[in-house]
Amino acid sequence: MTPNPSDIPPLLTITNPVTYLKSWWKKVMSNEGVDLRLKIKPLTAIGIASLIAVSGFSLGRIGNFANTQVAKYIPQLAVTPTPSPNPWVNGAYLGVLQRGSNGNLYLITKSAEALLLDYPQNSKLPQYIGKKILASGKFNTQTKVLFVEDATALEIILQTQPVPTSSPSPMPLQTPTPEIIPSM
């Protein structure tokens, strides 16, 4: 009997490692993936779909509602504060100092306006009564009171002082004349 050539084992076999890798990869990929099976009735599917749709529309409405104003702005109700004016201003005034009947000092300006003067007690202001002065300080525009910080008299009374001069003498003064002695 003669052996069948397909039954005879080969003397030498060569294996390809890529073939082994391909078969290993095929086994791994065949077991990969998630198989999820849900059994849902048609009425349940319609209910779930409508619930998802309604909640999605509600979320969109909430997001759109955030841009709208909650209360209406009425401009008549909003009162804007007005700043109170500061009545005190720095100023200097020129005039004649006069004492009033009540004992207060007044500065009579060139425009015949009388300004009540408020001054420190250690001030030399009362000695300028009847004289032209320049008073500077803080002036209240509402009460017309000048708080004097500095006052200067502008009328200077000239007092003459005699200048010392020598009186002429009837006799000339004797001045010594130098003597020149020749030197050898």
Q: What is the pLDDT of residues 100-133, one digit of tens each?
A: 888 889 999 988 888 999 988 888 888 888 889 9
Indicate the domain borders of the chain.
88-153
Residue 176 CB neighbours (<10 A): 5
Q: With 60 as the cut, is the pLDDT of residue 13 above it?
A: yes
Nearest one of 111, 117, 122 to 144, comparing CA atoms = 117
Q: Tell me, what's the pLDDT at 152?
A: 83
CATH class in words for 88-153: mainly beta
Percent of the chain with pLDDT over 70: 84
Q: Which residue has the higher pLDDT, 92 or 67?
A: 92
- Answer whether 0.75 is exceeded by the pTM: no
The tens digit of pLDDT for each residue in 155-164 reads 665 566 777 7
Please classify residue 117 by burial: count the beta carbons closer than 10 Å to its beta carbon, then call 0-12 exposed, 13-18 middle and 19+ buried: buried
Q: 79-85 long-range CB contacts below 8 Å, 24 or more apart? A: none
Percent of the chain with pLDDT over 90: 16
Q: Tell me, what's the pLDDT at 159?
A: 61
Q: State the Rg of the chain over Cα.
A: 60
